[in-house]
Amino acid sequence: MFRTALRNLLAHKARLMMTALAVLLGVAFVAGTLIFSDSVGEAVKNASARNLKDVAVSVQAVYGPDRPGGEGKDGKRATALDDRLADRIRALPGVAGVRSDVTGQATVAARGDGHPIGNGWQNRAANYQPGPGGDDPRYPLVRGRGPARADEVALARSTADAAGYRLGDPVRLATDGPVLTKKLVGIVASDDPAVTAGGSLTLFDTATAQRLYLHPGQFDELVVAAAPGTDQEALTAKVAALLPADRATATSGRELAAEQARRIADQNHALSQTLLTFAGIALFVGVFIIANTFTMLISQRTREIALLRAVGASRRQVVRSVLVEAGLLGLLSSAVGFGLGAGIAVGLRAVLASQGAGFPDGPVVISPSAVAASLAVGVGVTVLAAWLPSRKAARIAPVEALSTVDAPPTPRSLVFRNVLGGVLTTLGVAVMLWVSTLTGGDNLPLAMGGSMLTLIGMIVLAPLLSRPLVSLAGLVTTRLFGVGGKLAKENALRNPRRTAATGSALMIGLTLITGLTVAGHSSQLALDRMAAAGLTADYKISTSTGTGLDPQRSAAVARVPGVAATAPLRGAGYTVQGGGSGPDGGFGYVHGTDLDQIGKVTALTVTQGSLAAVRSGGIAVSETGAKEHGWRAGDTVALTFYDKKTVTVRVGAVYADNPVLGESFAGTALVDPHLDRLRDDELLVKARDGGSAALAGRIRAALGDSPLLKIQDHNDLRKETAGQIDTMVYMIYGLLGMAVVIAVVGVVNTLAMSVFERTREIGMLRAIGLSRAGVKRMVRLESVVISLFGAVLGIGVGIFLAWAGGKLVGSSFATYRMVLPWDRLGLFLLLALVVGVLAALWPARRAARLNMLEAIGAH
């Protein structure tokens, strides 16, 4: 039976080619994901190991819970790590050296247009510490030298290239205060993931770095190198004994390495799981193609199977023969797919690196587990998909098979399938209707489960749904194309299970794409409405690092010609201690602002009380916040701010929810005493005659023309938020594209094997006068009908799932409501039409080239 399976595999190479391609693509996706994950994980691990190579103990500053970032009112951190502590650690037995690190953030302005380089929080800064050889081993010099004076800096090579600076150029940059200009004296190499992932690196001499971020003589970290033969754990204990209680911690190099390894593994696991999910979708689509292929092959080989049974082959042997054939096909396809997967891994790494992922350099890692998993998945999926067709072949009695050409599915099997599909679909729809009444991300697993049930139910019901939908499409094809259109309809209806399996493969991909598109489009419109509803200012000004604006600079903006009104927003968190008619407890955040100007820059609607009561020292609360705490205008509440001070205030007003103002606002006099540092989180600016590039330039100049500044108009704000949605949607489109490609392969495969199955029929049609062009048209129309059937089901199910899950998305956007993107949905239908036409090119050409007499005589 093994020889029989091998012979059948070799005898049907052309018919199995498309099935092999489906398995190959699915396995390539899985293999590419595993190889990519292993390669990136190993590269990051090696880079981390290099960074920790000489680290025996790391001493890091600890800040109190009331000041997690450590910044004081001057914006600088105060640490217990100083030169005196470094000298005491350096004197310990077994210590080979102590490196004293200062870290912070610095944003560099490009040489030409002055735009900031990097992406905010990843714009790192550090002190350059020359070693015995004159260089800092952490940052190998590429050109020039390290900074040695206050007016000098060094930049990472990627930062200098992006900004257009060369040695000797004056570099404009900002840390947290005014713009600084320093001379570029060195360019260094860095494999810091934050820098290679789109950030920047600026290096100062130690004294300058301390003056910018800390205080003279203080450090963020002390890195201890051990002498050869020194026990790390013992040295860590000795260092810990010297540290001031609750002001610093000592961690061994081994513990740091283990923690980094865990963090890398967690990051890789999340990315790998995401990619493997889409690989699973692609393989799930491939199951339909494989099952379809083997069902058709077995139908075409009924006489052969009957002869095997007649000469003594048992049912088990027939099943085993088909499964061995599927296993060999899966093994060969998986082997080729694994090779393609290695190429995908390299390409994926290059694409992500071009988008700023910044993975360290490293070789492609092909682990035995990746090979085993890829082959096991490919062979397992193929054998599993062929199992039901193999059992069907084994159940055919030899005498019946010898006299049967193509038995249609029995009514009983379709009845059972329809009942099962109805039950699954009903359960899935019921779950999704329940989900439509829920809010919050905690219900996402329930929504995913309901979506899966609904989709599986529709797949099982597809044969039942194919008859009315294909018949409806057949009315159009018959009216437009006459006999060819009618024949296409009848061919698609001849075997509803085959049509359903082929259409379902396309339906799965389009269901996911449609649901994603509808949810993404609706979210974008919700963000637009939210911005329009809450903000009437022409500009929102902030900093890319979140460090805030100097209030004196903010006040200067009001005097810029063309500015009609400005209002700062700076906030403080609090806990509710009592008051009002609601329960005690709960957290809140209050914005301090200019109460005379806030109504000019936001769409503020007061529903209870008045702003006059807020100006008298009260607080304004949003309707949602008031409902949550049980407050009404006139209530007295006690608020304990994060500086542990409690203030009793009156609720002066309740206003309609506003995304700009958040849950509450008050005058700056209420908020300012509780801030560690007086900084404006945002500045809202209303222009007298509307925004313009010239006005934005004058505002930037008034604020010191810092590269930290973000001056955004309504369009910029929409792009910032909606752009993230677009990026996610397009990324998922690309990942789901593999499933759609496999579905197209399935349409080609089904049509090609159907043409072979109907060779005699096509010969008879040619004999009674159907032209070659008519045969091509018939096959193409059949392909179009099947593709449109899958597309209509997919788009319909996708819209339903997007509607049912809309409340979960809407819980993040008060203005969310489902809006159908008719242009994109129309494009999906058009693409399905194109898929049908393209998928039929080869099968239609093959059918038209059949020799009429040979076709009539075919068995």
Contact between 279 and 26 under an 8 Å Cβ cutoff? The reply is yes
Structural domains in the chain (count): 2
Q: Residue 541's closest CA among 523, 561, 558, 524?
A: 558
Alpha-carbon separation of residue 525 from 33, 176, 362, 820 (angstroms): 34, 35, 42, 11
Gap between the terminal Cα atoms of the chain: 24
Would you state the pLDDT for residue 687? 93
What's the whole-number mean pLDDT along residues 812-817? 71
| Residue 400 included in any domain | no
Instruction: Assign 714 a pLDDT band (cuts: 50, 70, 90).
Output: confident
Q: Residues 6 or more apart from 86 whose CB is under 8 A from it?
A: 98, 100, 219, 222
Would you state the pLDDT for residue 411? 47
H or E stretch covering 652: strand 646-655
Does the pLDDT value for residue 580 go beyond 50? Answer: no
Full residue range of the structural domain in which residue 115 is found: 56-262
Tokens of 613: 């009561």
Instruction: Assign 311 a pLDDT band (cuts: 50, 70, 90).
Output: low
Strand partners for 105: 124
Rounded CA-CA distance 549/566 in Å is 13
H or E stretch covering 683: strand 682-687
Would you state the pLDDT for residue 850? 76
Q: What is the mean pLDDT of the chain?
A: 82
Q: Residues 6 or more apart from 320 whose CB is under 8 A from it?
A: 1
Instruction: Assign 792 a pLDDT band (cuts: 50, 70, 90).
Output: very high
| Residue 192 included in any domain | yes
What's the whole-number mean pLDDT along residues 68-96? 81
Instruction: Assign 614 a pLDDT band (cuts: 50, 70, 90).
Output: very high
Instruction: Assign 582 a pLDDT band (cuts: 50, 70, 90).
Output: very low
How confident is the model over 451-463, as pLDDT tens digits?
889 989 998 898 8
Torsion angle of C-alpha atoms 582, 583, 584, 587, degrees rounded to 10 = -80
Radius of gyration, CA atoms only, the chain: 34
| Residue 33 included in any domain | no
pTM: 0.70
Does the pLDDT value for residue 14 go beyond 70? Answer: no
CA angle 793–794–797, rounded 5-degree value: 80
Q: Which amino acid is at 711?
A: I
Would you state the pLDDT for residue 441? 64
Does the pLDDT value for residue 294 go beyond 80? Answer: no
Does the pLDDT value for residue 760 go beyond 80? Answer: no
Does the pLDDT value for residue 404 go beyond 50? Answer: no
Q: Pick the range with the lowest mean pLDDT from 83-92, 499-508, 520-529, 546-555.
A: 520-529
Percentage above 90 pLDDT, the chain = 25
Does the pLDDT value for residue 402 go beyond 60? Answer: no
Contact between 564 and 690 under an 8 Å Cβ cutoff? The reply is no
| Residue 348 included in any domain | no
Alpha-carbon separation of residue 414 from 261, 453, 489 (angstroms): 53, 20, 20
Q: What is the DSSP string of 557-608?
A: HTTSTTEEEEEEEEEEEEEEEEESSS-S--EEEEEEE-TTTHHHHB---EEE
Contact between 831 and 738 under an 8 Å Cβ cutoff? The reply is no
Which of 203, 234, 262 lies at the terminal end of a domain, its last residue? 262
Calculate helix-pair angle for 714-757, 253-300, nearest 10 degrees: 40
Would you state the pLDDT for residue 312? 72
Q: Which amino acid is at 69?
A: G
H or E stretch covering 732: helix 714-757
| Residue 743 included in any domain | no
How confident is the model over 731-758, as pLDDT tens digits?
777 777 777 787 787 777 777 767 766 7
Rounded CA-CA distance 349/353 in Å is 6
Which of 663, 692, 712 lies at the terminal end of a domain, its last residue? 712
Does the pLDDT value for residue 650 go beyond 90? Answer: yes
Instruction: Assign 408 a pLDDT band (cuts: 50, 70, 90).
Output: very low
Strand partners for 683: 541, 568
Rounded CA-CA distance 733/27 in Å is 19
What's the whole-number mean pLDDT along residues 289-294? 74
| Residue 98 included in any domain | yes
How confident is the model over 194-208, as pLDDT tens digits?
777 678 899 999 999
The pairing of strands 248-252 and 200-205 is unpaired
Does the pLDDT value for residue 68 go beyond 50? Answer: no
Does the pLDDT value for residue 403 go beyond 70? Answer: no
Percentage above 70 pLDDT, the chain = 86
Which of 229, 262, 295 lies at the terminal end of a domain, its last residue? 262
| Residue 682 included in any domain | yes
DSSP state of 549: B
Instruction: Assign 172 a pLDDT band (cuts: 50, 70, 90).
Output: very high
Would you state the pLDDT for residue 307? 66
Backbone angles phi and psi of 446, in degrees to 5 = -65, -40
Which range scores top for mean pLDDT: 132-136, 320-324, 347-351, 594-598? 594-598
Would you state the pLDDT for residue 606? 92
Does the pLDDT value for residue 409 go beyond 50? Answer: no
Contact between 77 and 669 under an 8 Å Cβ cutoff? The reply is no
Maximum Cα–Cα distance across the chain: 103
